[in-house]
Structures are given as C-alpha cells and as structure tokens.
C-alpha cells in the first residue's frame, strides 16, 4: 500500500466516512447510555438486576431474527435507505423507554422496537459504503466509521447522568435520544451515500479486490459465497471470536456504572470514568485500523483479544482506587474500540466482498446469540453472588480462548489453501 493511493481515497471519500461515523454512533445508545438508568429503574419499580437486564436480552433475541433479513434488505435497497431509517427508529425507540409503565411485558415490548432499529444500524450497513470506496486505506476507513460508538461511550454517560439528576430518569431517556437524533441525523443525511452517488461512476463492489499485503498471504481472488464460507474453518473461528467479544461487551458495558458504584464511586464519578471507554475506544479503533493495513491480521486480532485480561485482572485483584479503576475501564474501551473493525476486516480479507453484507450479517447473528445470553447472565450472577467476580472470571476464560483461536486462523488466504480447505468438502 502506498501513502499516495490511500491519501487519494481519503481526499475523495472522507465526507462519507464522517457521515457514517456519526450515524453509527446511535448504535451505542443501548449499551453505553443505559448504565446510569439501571439503579433509578430498580428503585422505582422494585426490580432485580435480572429483570432490568431482561429488556436487553429481549432486544438481542429479536435481533437474532432480524440481522439476516436486514442484510438482504441492505443488498436490495442499499446502505443509505437502510441506515437512515434505522437511525431514526433507534433514537425514537430509545426515547420511548421513558414511557415504561413498570410491567415486564411493557418493558420488553419497548426493547423490541429498539431491536428493529438496531438491526438496521449494524456495522455492515455503514461499512458496505466504505469497503466499496476504499481499497488501500480500508482498515483505517472502517475504523473511522466504527469510532462513532466511541463518541457515544464518551458522551452518553455524562448526558444521561446529568439529565437523570436534573429531571429524573424518564426525561433522561427522552433527552438523551433527542440529543443524539439532532446531533447525528443531519450529517448522515447530507454526507452518507451509497457508492456511485453523484457524478462519479459507480464502484462495483464485486470487482474490488484486496491486493496482497507484505504481511498477509494473498487473499482469495474470487469472493466466497455464504454456502462455501459456512464450510470453512476460518468462518467459524471469526464467528466464535465475535461471540466471545459480544458476550464480553454486552455483559460489561451496561453494568460498568453499577460496577463502579459498587466500588464506592458516586454516580457522577462513575460516569466520568466510564467516559474513558469512548476516549480510548476512539484512539484504539484508529490505531487498530492502522495496524490492520500493515501487519498480519491474525496477530492483530489475537493481541486485541488478549488485552481485556489485563483490565479484568485489575478488577479481580480488588483494585478500588480511582486511578486503578480508570485504567481497567480504559482497557475495556480500548478493546471494544479495536475488536469490531478487526472482525469486519477479517471477513473482507478472508472471503472477499461478494455477499459481504450477508456474510457479516450471519456472523452478527451468531454474535447476537451472545448478546441474548450475556445481559441476563450478568444480572443473574450479580443477584446470586452479590458481585461481578464470577462474571469477570468467565469473561477472562472466553477472551483468552478466542485469542488462541485467532492465532490458528493464520494470515488471510491460508484458510483457503490449507488441507482440507473446506469442512466436509474436497479441494476447491
């Protein structure tokens, strides 16, 4: 990759990256903005932690059924229509959580609406328009889009906490959603378009090829269909890694504020530390994109899966100082900043771009299974043990195992030429 070619891509297409980044930030509301609401809702409705987390579990369960249809809708209608619709639905649905009546059925139905919006807001929706424009700087461009959720992680806890303390949790939901809609939708509507929009000739996504890099083996010359991908070990290694990552993220992200509160911090103090998730997530996403364009992708992936063990180790060691907790939360932010664009990059490098949206939607569906299990599991562990140590131990084991499997993945292209190249199939 030459710097000039990458710079030329950025000069032409940076507005699309900006519009996608701000639009994608809405997906973080259900993870990073909900934390400050947990204790007020428990207090008003008399619910357990499991009951509060049940809403996230219902949302994730619905998403399992919606991700693949959303992928086909993306291929049929294009990124812009799906993304902007999902953006509006997500913000409106999050704001409507303010109308919860205190019944678990009502609470669950609110999260079902949010699931519909989030299914249309996943990474493939925004990054499809990026992978069709960027070849030489694709890793950094994908990272730029995904930093949107880091913006949410940095700002949402502050905004939600301030609104809750000033006006109550119901106004907090409505106000946070309104802030995000007004802040993001105008930019996305003005800047985010599918490849081929305007005067330039359309970019045929199917024709884009990954050129061999000095640190990765040559990727497959022909893109891989879903049927073939499902028979290849590389696909299941990547999917298993995403399962562990989503479980880790959806178990900890909504519980970071309560976890820090249990360490003795005030709501405002916990929100300040949780804001580090966004700051370090922003930096690590860009840094990971830079590394993916220059180093073997399986090494970068394995390293990022190992990173959480340091942060969770601090928590398990009983660290309670503000500085120690800040370091642990910063590591959490750095991990979630890097992992998602690593997974997207691996799919594109190992399987090509034909059917990219459907392949990534299938992987996201597998990840959504983890999102179904993780929130209620975290709540049950807290209710049963009175703390989070058992949860942190389980997460350490999962992330460590995924780091090892990512090493087995090998450089891009290896999974396609090793023997046997497909499970249950002969040579290709």
| pLDDT confidence band for 428 (50 / 70 / 90) | very low
Q: Say if 6 falls within a structural domain.
A: no
| pLDDT confidence band for 180 (50 / 70 / 90) | very high
Q: Are 205 and 356 in contact (CB under 8 A)?
A: yes
Q: Are 383 and 375 in contact (CB under 8 A)?
A: no
CA-CA distance, 359 to 348, in Å (whole number)?
9
Q: Is 128 left (phi over 0), alpha (psi -120 to 50) or beta?
A: alpha
Domain of 216? 14-191+205-416
- Burial label for 326, CB within 10 Å (0-12, 13-18, 19+), is middle
- Burial label for 2, CB within 10 Å (0-12, 13-18, 19+), is exposed
DSSP string, 118-156: HHTSSHHHHHHHHHTT-STTHHHHHHHHHTHHHHHHHHH
As for how many domains the chain has, the answer is 1
Q: What integer pLDDT is reported at residue 166 of this predicted model?
A: 92
Q: What integer pLDDT is reported at residue 427 of this predicted model?
A: 30
| pLDDT confidence band for 223 (50 / 70 / 90) | low
pLDDT tens across 132-143, in order?
777 777 777 877
| pLDDT confidence band for 393 (50 / 70 / 90) | very high
Q: What integer pLDDT is reported at residue 351 of this predicted model?
A: 74
Say whether 95 sits in a helix, a strand or coil: helix
Q: What integer pLDDT is reported at residue 341 of this predicted model?
A: 67
With CA atoms as reference, report the closest residue to 125 among 70, 88, 195, 180: 70
Q: Are 42 and 163 in contact (CB under 8 A)?
A: no
425 pLDDT higher than 60: no
Q: Say if 200 falls within a structural domain.
A: no
Q: What integer pLDDT is reported at residue 11 of this predicted model?
A: 80
Q: What integer pLDDT is reported at residue 340 of this predicted model?
A: 66
Average pLDDT, the chain: 79
Q: Please give the average per-residue pLDDT across 355-379, as a whole number.
A: 78
pLDDT tens across 15-29, in order?
888 999 999 999 888
Q: Which helix (H) or strand (E) holds 66?
A: helix 49-77
| pLDDT confidence band for 201 (50 / 70 / 90) | very low
348 pLDDT higher than 60: yes
157 pLDDT higher than 80: yes
| pLDDT confidence band for 14 (50 / 70 / 90) | confident
Q: How far is CA 139 from CA 324, 338, 345, 369, in A?
A: 32, 11, 7, 26
CATH of the domain at 395: 1.20.1250.20
pLDDT tens across 66-89, in order?
877 887 787 788 889 999 999 999
Q: Please give the average per-residue pLDDT across 362-380, as a whole number.
A: 83
Sign of CA dihedral 250, 251, 252, 254: positive
Q: What integer pLDDT is reported at residue 22 of this predicted model?
A: 92
Q: What integer pLDDT is reported at residue 199 of this predicted model?
A: 41
Q: Say if 8 falls within a structural domain.
A: no
Q: Say if 2 falls within a structural domain.
A: no
Q: Please give the average per-residue pLDDT across 180-196, as a whole number.
A: 89
361 pLDDT higher than 80: no
CA-CA distance, 404 to 406, in Å (whole number)?
5
Q: Say if 1 falls within a structural domain.
A: no
Q: Is 217 left (phi over 0), alpha (psi -120 to 50) or beta?
A: beta
Q: Which of 104-108, 183-187, 333-337, 358-362 has the highest mean pLDDT?
A: 183-187
DSSP string, 349-370: HHH-STTHHHHHHHHHHHHHHH
pLDDT tens across 289-334, in order?
677 777 887 888 888 888 889 889 988 888 888 888 989 888 888 8
pLDDT tens across 247-272, in order?
998 888 888 888 888 888 888 888 88
| pLDDT confidence band for 342 (50 / 70 / 90) | confident
CA-CA distance, 391 to 386, in Å (whole number)?
11
Q: Please give the average per-residue pLDDT across 44-70, as a whole number.
A: 83
220 pLDDT higher than 50: no
Q: How far is CA 142 from CA 146, 201, 348, in A?
A: 6, 22, 11
Between 28-42, 89-103, 166-180, 351-365, the lowest mean confidence (pLDDT) is in: 351-365
Decide which of 277 and 29 is more confident: 29
CA-CA distance, 44 to 38, in Å (whole number)?
10
CB atoms within 10 A of CB 193: 18
- The radius of gyration of the chain from alpha carbons, rounded to an integer in Å, stands at 21
With CA atoms as reference, report the closest residue to 205 among 413, 355, 412: 355
Q: Say if 305 falls within a structural domain.
A: yes
CA-CA distance, 257 to 164, in Å (whole number)?
14
Say whether 410 sits in a helix, a strand or coil: coil
Q: What integer pLDDT is reported at residue 56 of this predicted model?
A: 83
CA-CA distance, 89 to 116, in Å (whole number)?
7
CA-CA distance, 168 to 316, in Å (whole number)?
33
Q: Say if 335 falls within a structural domain.
A: yes
| pLDDT confidence band for 9 (50 / 70 / 90) | confident
Peptide bond into 38 cis (omega under 30): no
């Amino acid at each position: 990759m030459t710097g000039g070619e990458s710079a030329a891509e950025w000069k032409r297409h940076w507005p699309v990256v900006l519009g996608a980044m701000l639009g994608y930030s809405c997906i973080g509301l259900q993870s990073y903005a909900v934390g400050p609401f947990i204790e007020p809702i428990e207090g008003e409705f008399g619910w357990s932690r499991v009951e509060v987390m049940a809403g996230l579990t219902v949302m994730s369960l619905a998403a399992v059924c919606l991700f693949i249809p959303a992928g086909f809708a993306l291929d049929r209608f294009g990124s812009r229509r799906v993304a902007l619709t999902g953006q509006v639905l997500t913000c409106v649905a999050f704001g409507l959580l303010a109308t919860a009546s205190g019944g678990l059925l009502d609470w669950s139905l609110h999260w079902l609406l949010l699931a519909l919006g989030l299914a249309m807001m996943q990474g493939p929706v925004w990054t499809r328009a990026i992978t069709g424009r960027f070849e030489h700087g694709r890793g950094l461009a994908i990272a730029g889009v995904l930093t949107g959720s880091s913006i949410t992680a940095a700002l949402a806890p502050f905004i939600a906490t301030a609104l809750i303390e000033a006006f109550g949790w119901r106004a907090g939901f409505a106000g946070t959603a309104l802030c995000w809609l007004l802040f993001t939708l105008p930019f996305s509507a003005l800047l985010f378009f599918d490849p081929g929009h305007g005067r330039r000739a359309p970019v045929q996504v199917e024709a884009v090829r990954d050129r061999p890099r000095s640190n990765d083996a040559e990727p497959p010359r022909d893109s891989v269909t879903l049927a073939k991908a499902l028979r290849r070990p590389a696909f299941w290694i990547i999917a298993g890694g995403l399962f562990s990552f989503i479980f880790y993220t959806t178990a900890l992200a909504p519980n970071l504020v309560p976890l820090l509160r249990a360490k003795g911090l005030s709501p405002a103090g916990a929100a300040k530390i949780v804001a580090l998730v966004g700051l370090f997530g922003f930096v690590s996403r860009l840094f990971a994109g830079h590394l993916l364009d220059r180093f073997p992708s399986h090494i970068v992936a394995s390293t990022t899966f190992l990173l959480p063990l340091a942060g969770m180790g601090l928590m398990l060691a009983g660290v309670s100082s503000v500085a120690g907790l800040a370091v642990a939360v910063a590591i959490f932010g750095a991990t979630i900043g890097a992992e998602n664009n690593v997974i997207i990059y691996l799919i594109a490098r190992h399987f090509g771009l034909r059917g990219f949206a459907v392949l990534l939607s299938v992987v996201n569906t597998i990840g959504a299974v983890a999102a179904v299990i993780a929130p209620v599991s975290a709540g049950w562990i807290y209710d049963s043990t009175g703390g989070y140590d058992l949860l942190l131990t389980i997460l350490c084991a999962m992330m460590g195992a995924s780091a090892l499997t990512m090493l087995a993945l090998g450089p891009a292209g290896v999974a396609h030429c090793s023997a046997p190249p497909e499970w249950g199939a002969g040579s290709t």
